[in-house]
């Protein structure tokens, strides 16, 4: 029976029994598909039906989806009244006319019917919002203003979330009565409707403090993004019962490797240390690499209150002046943290690696370890650079660090040879004073030590993924899919137009093709432009039970194993390793997690994106705050986006701002999509990604997290022979209100995502950068 036949049979059965729920085991038994391979086919078919929207999945059970025939998605509002519904990562969004929006707000989850099908592959269908399934703004954070002209209302709320900043929020008498200027959380009791299309009614449920109190600006974002920031008392009470030291009974069944010279290598301010490493040269010329990860799953047991809260959080969130941890601090900074000179429980991946970078053997097991030193990146970098004073300070460990350096070079060259794509965009470290105010922005340096730990974590993650993929059992992977053909084709055309063709078939794009391109353009003026557009052509990494590999890393197998203190998927992977070691690989053993992994992957991917969005919003807020007293000053910058409404410029310190097209006054500029450029109609000056410019700061709005620039010397821009059709002429005429226009365009809507940051999915403990996009 083919997969499609199996899907058809399962779908038909569940449709005939719509009121009932079934586990994968129920259906496998009913189909008499009871072998390990057959059971896995049933699970894959049912997961495919969930992705197709024909089935729902909840708490390990499948059911026929009553919304079949409709499309579910997230609503994106436009200030002109129309909107879009995103329902697929690859397909064009639904277009929703103003009369068909049902007054949905930005981020609402909606059910859509199709009015008109897609007219072309690059344009989405036209739809109608039939139902708002979940409101994005059930709770709103903002600053309370006392007094209102509307009867029975005690005041109004100024929303901190810029995506809803144009809505009026009236506060009624049924909740708390805050003071003027307090930041509050309000529960919405009436959403926009036809009579009140821009108005909400709410009552105050919580006061957070006053607007100008230190840290309140970040706290507003945390609440607006619905990031859980306080642990419930019952969770803290449960955590308090966990011992502060490894107990004698914990050693049972574990390997005692406390005599191995394991070390931890992290940033100087890291308190939640979840990996220790050791390496030595073997007599046969190969290398031993030990990656030993905190055994968080020993303390955070499945089904516990701590576990439920960790799942709810999904990941730790690293903000400018604080960390919102996934686990209570007595676990993350205490018993699970691999602090020096104390026994700790670990999950160990021990690998033998040959001089070509191939892992020729490995072992996965539980252990008791002891870190022999808490090293910092700075210290290890100095050792590897030959600093004799630091080498003398760590004389007993220096030989091992040199072996580690050799092994890192081997692993790096192996990844490069197989086609891994190296993106190394600058990342900011925002310095704040005691009141939380941004006072400086520095660029984080990534030296050999940071890259070395990245190499070791990648090796461990790949080893674990390959081990379980080859066992053919249900498992959780970190996947990064191949770019779809349309996006790849568009990127190939873009790169070719710049004189740098990609050699290969866009329908069969490989990492090696893109790596070769980046090698060809290294040092070329087009390098930054091509790198940025390549990132935009790629898909987003996520968690999934489907082992499709990791395109960006050029890896056939990949998971997240190395950060269970701060990522729930890693905690899940540890549980899977232990489960199969204890219960074997039979059908009954596989059934334990088979029905759960797709949902875990989906939920943790969503919560990862929530964390990333929160971190980016806080960074943007603090960068804007830093620029408040820089109005009128000039800076060197680089264009990182050229769009219809202007140019986004990044300064050397990573602050980003907009040169609105209305401030390009030396000519009438039009957008050329093929070259992602703004081109002057008369003087033919061109502005495109990667181009260096000098800008002056025009205005800064901390609340909206925006910085506006103007070009200092537009006449220095190069000219081009490219001519753009004038179809967009007059779109930004002087008659329109400039500030309103700028707000609308900022919110709606640039073409394609902003450039992503960070290295390729390595150790999250360059905490903020490595859990990014891959």
For 69-125, how does the pLDDT look when each residue is reduced to its tens digit (9 = 90+)? 788 899 999 878 899 999 887 788 999 999 999 999 999 999 999 999 888 877 889
- Asked if residue 350 belongs to a domain, the reply is yes
Torsion of CA 469, 471, 475, 481, to 10 degrees: 10
The Cα 757–Cα 425 span in angstroms is: 6
Residues 549 and 658 in one domain: no
pLDDT at 3: 80
What is the pLDDT averaged over residues 455-460? 98
For 19-52, how does the pLDDT look when each residue is reduced to its tens digit (9 = 90+)? 889 998 888 888 888 888 888 888 888 888 887 7
Could you please report the per-residue DSSP string of 257-299? -TTS--BEEE-TT-----EEEEEEE-TTS-EEEEEEEE-GGGT
pLDDT at 502: 92
Residues 152 and 285 in one domain: no
What number of other Cβ atoms are within 10 A of residue 33's Cβ? 17
Lowest mean pLDDT among 228-232, 339-343, 484-488: 484-488
According to the 3-state scheme, what is the secondary structure of 352-420? Answer: EECCCCCEEEEEEEEEEEEECCEEEHHHHHHHHHCCHHHHHHCCCCHHHHHHHHHHHHHHHHHHHHHCC
Is residue 740 pLDDT above 60, yes or no? no
- Residue with the bigger pLDDT between 726 and 280: it is 280
- Asked if residue 762 belongs to a domain, the reply is no
- Asked if residue 760 belongs to a domain, the reply is no
For residue 331, what pLDDT band results from cuts at 50, 70 and 90? very high
Helix axes 568-583, 448-471, angle to 10 degrees: 40
For residue 439, the surrounding DSSP H or E stretch is strand 438-443
pLDDT at 84: 96
For residue 726, what pLDDT band results from cuts at 50, 70 and 90? low
pLDDT at 444: 87
Cβ atoms 224, 169 nearer than 8 A: no
Is residue 427 pLDDT above 90, yes or no? no
pLDDT at 34: 81
What is the pLDDT averaged over residues 600-620? 95
pLDDT at 563: 97
Residues 58 and 81 in one domain: no
Identify the CA nearest to 514 among candidates 553, 557, 459: 553
What is the pLDDT averaged over residues 473-477? 97
Q: Identify the CATH number of the domain in which residue 704 sits.
A: 2.40.50.140
For residue 4, what pLDDT band results from cuts at 50, 70 and 90? confident
Is residue 525 pLDDT above 90, yes or no? no
For residue 761, what pLDDT band results from cuts at 50, 70 and 90? low
Is residue 533 pLDDT above 80, yes or no? yes
Is residue 766 pLDDT above 80, yes or no? no
pLDDT at 570: 98
What are 62's two structure tokens? 């499948």
What are 379's two structure tokens? 């210290």
- Asked if residue 620 belongs to a domain, the reply is no
- Residue with the bigger pLDDT between 165 and 540: it is 540
Q: Identify the CATH number of the domain in which residue 60 sits.
A: 1.10.10
The Cα 217–Cα 219 span in angstroms is: 6
Residues 258 and 164 in one domain: no
According to the 3-state scheme, what is the secondary structure of 573-624? Answer: HHHHHHHHHHHCCCHHHHHHHHCCHHHHHHHHHHHHHHHHHHHHHHHHHHHH
DSSP 8-class letter at 124: P
- Asked if residue 260 belongs to a domain, the reply is yes
> Going by DSSP bridges, is the β-strand pair 199-210/168-172 parallel, antiparallel, or unpaired?
parallel
- Asked if residue 418 belongs to a domain, the reply is yes
**Residue recorded with tokens 């805050």:** 178
pLDDT at 309: 98
Structural domain for 20, as ranges: 3-64
Boundary of a domain, candidates 591, 607, 623: 607
The Cα 535–Cα 515 span in angstroms is: 12
Burial (Cβ within 10 Å: 0-12, 13-18, ≥19) of residue 301: exposed
Number of alpha carbons in the 13 Å side-chain half-sphere of residue 586: 4
Identify the CA nearest to 641 among candidates 556, 734, 754, 474: 754
Beta-carbon contacts of 749 under 8 Å, excluding residues fewer than 6 positions away, are: 76, 78
pLDDT at 467: 98
Rounded to a whole number of angstroms, the CA Rg of the chain reads 27
What number of other Cβ atoms are within 10 A of residue 437's Cβ? 15
Residues 599 and 728 in one domain: no
Residues 427 and 481 in one domain: no
Q: Nearest 5 degrees, angle CA 48-CA 51-CA 57?
A: 90
* Mean pLDDT rounded to a whole number for the chain: 89
Residues 55 and 92 in one domain: no
pLDDT at 728: 41
Is residue 744 pLDDT above 50, yes or no? no
pLDDT at 690: 83
Residues 256 and 302 in one domain: yes
Is residue 774 pLDDT above 60, yes or no? no
3-state secondary structure of 650: strand
Is residue 271 pLDDT above 70, yes or no? yes
Residues 701 and 737 in one domain: yes
Residues 413 and 383 in one domain: yes
For residue 485, what pLDDT band results from cuts at 50, 70 and 90? confident
- Asked if residue 329 belongs to a domain, the reply is yes
- Residue with the bigger pLDDT between 531 and 773: it is 531
Residues 697 and 738 in one domain: yes
- How many helical (H) and strand (E) elements, i.e. helices and strands, does the chain have? 19, 33
- Asked if residue 466 belongs to a domain, the reply is no
Percent share of the chain, pLDDT over 90: 69
Residues 691 and 713 in one domain: yes
DSSP 8-class letter at 685: B
Burial (Cβ within 10 Å: 0-12, 13-18, ≥19) of residue 567: buried
Boundary of a domain, candidates 12, 42, 64: 64
Look at the chain and report how many structural domains it folds into: 6
pLDDT at 90: 73
Lowest mean pLDDT among 131-145, 413-427, 741-755: 741-755
């Amino acid at each position: 029976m083919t997969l499609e036949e199996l899907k058809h049979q399962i779908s038909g059965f569940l449709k005939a029994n719509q009121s009932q729920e079934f586990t994968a085991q129920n259906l496998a038994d009913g189909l008499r598909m009871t072998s390990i391979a057959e059971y896995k086919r049933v699970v894959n078919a049912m997961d495919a039906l969930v992705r197709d929207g024909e089935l729902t999945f909840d708490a390990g059970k499948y059911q026929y989806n009553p919304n079949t025939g409709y499309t579910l998605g997230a609503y994106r509002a436009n200030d002109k009244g129309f909107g879009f519904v995103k329902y697929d990562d690859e397909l064009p969004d639904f277009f929703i006319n103003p009369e068909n929006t049902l007054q949905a707000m930005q981020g609402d989850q909606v059910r859509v019917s199709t009015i008109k099908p897609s007219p072309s592959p690059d344009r989405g269908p036209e739809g109608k919002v039939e139902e708002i399934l979940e409101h994005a703004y059930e709770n709103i954070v903002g600053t309370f203003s006392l007094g209102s002209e509307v009867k029975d209302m005690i005041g109004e709320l100024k929303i901190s979330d810029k995506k809803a900043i144009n809505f009026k929020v009236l506060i009624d008498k049924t909740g708390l009565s805050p003071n003027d200027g307090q930041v509050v959380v309000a529960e919405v009791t009436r959403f926009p409707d036809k009579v009140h299309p821009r108005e909400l009614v709410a009552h105050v449920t919580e006061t957070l403090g006053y607007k100008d109190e230190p840290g309140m600006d970040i706290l507003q974002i945390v609440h607006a993004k619905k990031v859980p920031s306080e642990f419930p008392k019952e969770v803290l009470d449960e955590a308090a019962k966990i011992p502060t030291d490894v107990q004698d009974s914990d050693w049972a069944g574990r390997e005692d490797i406390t005599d191995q010279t394991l070390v931890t290598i992290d940033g100087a301010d890291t308190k939640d240390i979840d990996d220790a490493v050791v390496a030595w040269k073997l007599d046969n010329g190969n290398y031993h690499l030990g990656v030993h990860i905190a055994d968080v799953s020993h303390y955070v047991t499945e089904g516990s209150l701590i576990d439920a809260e960790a799942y709810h959080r999904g990941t730790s969130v690293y903000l400018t002046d604080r960390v919102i941890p996934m686990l209570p601090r007595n676990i993350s900074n205490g018993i699970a943290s691999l602090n020096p000179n104390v026994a700790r429980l670990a999950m160990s991946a021990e690998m033998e690696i040959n001089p070509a970078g191939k892992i020729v053997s490995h072992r996965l097991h539980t252990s008791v370890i002891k870190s022999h030193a808490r090293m910092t990146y700075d210290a290890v970098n100095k050792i590897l650079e030959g600093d004799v004073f630091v080498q003398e300070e760590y004389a007993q460990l220096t030989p091992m660090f040199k072996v580690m350096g050799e092994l890192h070079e081997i692993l790096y060259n192996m990844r490069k040879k197989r086609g891994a794509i190296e993106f190394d965009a600058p990342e900011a470290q925002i310095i704040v004073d005691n009141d939380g105010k941004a006072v400086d922005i520095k660029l984080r340096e990534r030296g050999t030590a940071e890259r070395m730990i990245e190499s070791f974590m990648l090796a461990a993650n790949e080893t674990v993924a390959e081990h379980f993929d080859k066992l053919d059992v249900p498992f959780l992977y970190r996947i990064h899919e191949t770019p779809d053909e349309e996006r790849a084709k568009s990127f190939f055309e873009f790169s070719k137009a710049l004189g740098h063709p990609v050699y290969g078939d866009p329908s069969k794009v490989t990492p090696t093709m893109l790596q070769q391109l980046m090698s060809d353009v290294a040092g070329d003026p087009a390098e930054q432009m091509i790198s940025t557009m390549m990132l935009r052509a790629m898909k987003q990494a996520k968690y999934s039970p489907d082992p499709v590999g990791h395109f960006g890393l050029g890896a056939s197998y990949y998971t997240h194993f190395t950060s269970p203190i701060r990522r729930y998927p890693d905690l899940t992977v540890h549980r899977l390793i232990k489960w199969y070691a204890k219960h074997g690989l039979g059908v009954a053993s596989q059934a334990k997690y088979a029905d759960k992994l797709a949902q875990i992957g989906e939920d943790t991917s969503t919560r990862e994106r929530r964390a990333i969005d929160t971190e980016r919003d806080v960074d943007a807020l603090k960068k804007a705050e830093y620029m408040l007293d820089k109005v009128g000053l000039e800076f060197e910058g680089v264009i990182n986006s050229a769009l219809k409404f202007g140019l986004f410029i990044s300064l050397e310190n990573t602050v980003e701002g907009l040169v609105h097209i209305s401030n390009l006054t030396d000519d009438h500029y039009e957008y050329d999509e093929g070259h992602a450029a703004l081109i002057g109609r008369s003087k033919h000056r061109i502005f495109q990604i990667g181009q260096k410019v000098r800008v002056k700061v025009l205005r800064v709005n901390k609340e909206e997290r925006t910085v506006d620039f103007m070009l200092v010397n537009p006449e220095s821009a190069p000219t081009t022979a490219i001519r753009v059709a004038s179809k967009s002429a007059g779109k930004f005429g002087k008659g329109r209100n400039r500030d309103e226009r700028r707000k609308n365009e900022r919110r709606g809507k640039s073409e394609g995502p902003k450039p992503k940051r960070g290295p390729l999915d390595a150790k999250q403990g360059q905490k903020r950068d490595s859990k990014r996009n891959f």
